[in-house]
């Protein structure tokens, strides 16, 4: 796999705390831990959580590569648009590096 | 019927749901349910499968299972699937043992009792 | 058709305690289901093949039964009364709670603190992730479609259904347990408890206050 596909070699983080990121808007079938409601949404790295084995491989009892995991903070306005109950309430979720893109 | 767009039924965030009022009172779990939970914890801690393996099978069971089976019934199905995949026993072995267990008696207490004598 | 165990059953039913010390439960006397049959069969196969022992299973159930929101309440009360522990808990929740005897195992604990103006609440939209080392097994509503679907979209409305209405200028932070972290909320210490010790404070800490769907009991 290329570095871009794995989100960094051996779980090394590619985004610093506070980085703006966007969740990839992919819709594959199968076991992934990125909630659909956050796909395509822009957030900020709240903190880096270190490397964790890939759930997509663990799910099938395969040897799992280590991926960087991030807590990403989204505003309700970003996630739900005008339907947000209150725009500046926030939503934090853990997202693995391969599901994140840098965002300006 | 909606066409599948890649979003799995278990991925519930943002969907519709009923009110969270008049919640049922808390309850203890039955012994067989605690045993399912214990098997899950022990067999994953021994490395035979992972919590993601459990989740993968639960997800593949589909929304009907979520509505029609209890939490630990679904867990039992998923633990079994992972153990078979890990090669710890075969499906035929399971079937034969289930038949033997069911012959011991019509209640969980009788069927699970290690002092019960299997009838051949 | 030997049935010599019936005598024992009658005896133990009378006592209400099994040989392993567990109380008998009502499900012992209800008709055997397919999935119960499978549980017995799988457990027996695993024991016979040497993958697990009956003693390990009993010990694991004892560990599970020993976990209750009292664990979390002890952690919260200590964080309220011991500033160094609070710092440790916020910096490394897994280690801080392990030191108190509440091992989270392979998962990682992240404690999120309510402050004036910020309220935290926890959900798992993808399954039922829960800080079992601190709170025991999750309540049914935590695993329900309603909670998992709605909390991330309309937390204020959901919290109001739990009887919790927050000030309009309070920011709500919803935490979706999507991966390897488990979360516990450190609620705000109730007013009027300045001279209380940790044991007395722990009695005010409810399970729901550590999920974020409630607040601690007020000082009486």
Domain ranges of chain C: 5-65, 69-211
Contact (Cβ atoms closer than 8 angstroms) between residue C48 and residue B96: no
Q: Which of C29, C149, C161 sits opposite B14 (nearest CB)?
A: C149
Task: Tell me the domain boundaries of chain A.
Answer: 3-102
Task: Return the pLDDT at C29.
Answer: 75
CA–CA–CA angle C86, C88, C90 (5° rounding)? 70
Ranges of chain A whose pLDDT falls below 70 = 1-10
CATH topology (fold) of C69-211 = Nitrile Hydratase; Chain A (3.90.330)
Put simply, the chain B residues between 9 and 48 with a CB less than 8 A from any chain C CB are 10-21, 23-24, 26-32, 34-39, 41-43, 45-46, 48
- B108 — pLDDT class (breaks 50, 70, 90): very high
- Show the DSSP H helices in chain C as ranges: 5-15, 34-48, 54-65, 69-81, 83-91, 93-99, 132-135, 145-150, 155-161, 198-202, 207-211
Is residue B114 very low, low, confident or very high in pLDDT (cuts 50, 70, 90)? low
pLDDT at C1: 38
Judged against a pLDDT cut of 80, whether residue B54 lies above it is answered with: yes
DSSP C17: B
ipTM value for the complex: 0.95
pLDDT digit of tens for each residue in chain C (220 aa)?
Answer: 333 333 333 333 333 444 444 444 556 778 999 999 999 999 999 999 999 999 999 999 999 999 999 999 999 999 999 999 999 999 999 999 999 999 998 899 999 999 999 999 999 999 999 999 999 999 999 999 999 999 999 999 999 999 999 999 999 999 999 999 999 999 999 999 999 999 999 999 999 999 999 999 999 8
Query: How many contacts does B have with C, using Cβ atoms within 8 A?
Result: 187
Token duo for residue B95 = 């079937």
What whole-number percentage of chain B has pLDDT above 70?
A: 92
**What is the per-residue pLDDT for C11?**
33
> C60-97: per-residue pLDDT in tens?
999 999 999 999 999 999 999 999 999 999 999 999 99
Kindly tell me the sign of the dihedral angle through the C-alpha atoms of B13, A79, C177, B82.
positive
- Using CA atoms, how far apart are residues C148 and A95, in angstroms rounded to an integer? 18
Q: Is C165 exposed, middle or buried (0-12, 13-18, 19+ CB in 10 A)?
A: exposed
Quick one: average pLDDT of B25-53? 96
Residue C25 touches chain B, beta carbons under 8 Å: yes
Distance CA C157, CA C142 (A): 16
Interface touch A92/C153, C-beta < 8 Å = no
| Spatial CA neighbour of C73 closest among C165, C164, C185 | C185
For residue A67, give the H/E element and its range. strand A66-75
H or E element at residue B53: helix B51-61
Its CATH class, for the domain covering A3-102, is mainly beta
């Amino acid at each position: 796999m290329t570095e871009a596909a794995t989100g960094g070699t051996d779980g090394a983080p590619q985004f610093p705390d506070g980085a703006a990121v966007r969740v990839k808007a992919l819709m594959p079938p199968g076991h992934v831990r990125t909630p659909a409601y956050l796909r395509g949404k822009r957030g900020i790295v709240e903190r880096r959580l270190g490397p964790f084995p890939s759930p997509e491989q663990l799910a099938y009892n395969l040897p799992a590569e280590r991926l960087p995991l991030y807590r990403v903070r989204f505003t309700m306005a970003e996630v739900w648009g005008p339907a947000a109950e209150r725009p500046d309430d926030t939503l934090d979720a853990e997202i693995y590096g391969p599901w994140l893109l840098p965002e300006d | 019927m909606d066409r599948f767009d890649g979003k799995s039924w278990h991925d519930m965030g943002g969907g519709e749901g009923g009110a969270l009022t008049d919640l049922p009172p808390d309850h203890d779990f039955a012994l067989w349910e605690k045993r399912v939970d214990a098997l899950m914890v022990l067999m994953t801690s021994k490395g035979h499968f992972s919590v993601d393996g459990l989740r993968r099978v639960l997800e593949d069971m589909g929304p009907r299972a979520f509505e029609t089976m209890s939490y630990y019934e679904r867990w039992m199905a998923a633990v079994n699937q992972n153990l078979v995949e890990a090669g710890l026993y075969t499906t035929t072995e399971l079937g034969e043992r289930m038949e033997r267990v069911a012959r011991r008696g019509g209640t969980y207490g009788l069927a699970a009792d290690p002092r019960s004598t299997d009838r051949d | 058709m030997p049935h010599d165990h019936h005598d024992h059953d009658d005896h133990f039913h009378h006592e209400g305690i099994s040989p392993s010390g567990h109380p008998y439960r009502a499900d012992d006397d209800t008709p055997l289901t397919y999935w119960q049959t499978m549980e017995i069969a799988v457990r027996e196969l695993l024991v016979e093949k040497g993958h697990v022992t009956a003693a390990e299973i009993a010990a694991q159930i004892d560990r599970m039964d020993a976990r209750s929101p009292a664990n979390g309440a002890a952690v919260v009360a200590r964080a309220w009364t011991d500033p160094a522990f609070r710092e440790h808990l916020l910096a490394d929740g897994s280690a801080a709670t392990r030191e108190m005897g509440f091992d989270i195992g392979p998962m990682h604990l992240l404690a999120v603190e309510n402050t004036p103006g910020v309220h935290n609440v926890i959900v798992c939209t993808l399954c039922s992730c829960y800080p079992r080392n601190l709170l025991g097994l999750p309540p049914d509503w935590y695993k329900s479609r309603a909670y998992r679907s709605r909390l991330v979209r309309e937390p204020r409305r959901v919290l109001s259904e739990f009887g919790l209405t927050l000030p309009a200028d309070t920011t709500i932070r919803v935490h979706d347990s999507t991966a390897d972290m488990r979360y516990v909320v450190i609620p705000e210490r109730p007013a009027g408890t300045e001279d209380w010790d940790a044991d007395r404070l722990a009695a005010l800490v409810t399970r729901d206050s550590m999920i974020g769907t409630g607040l601690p009991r007020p000082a009486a």
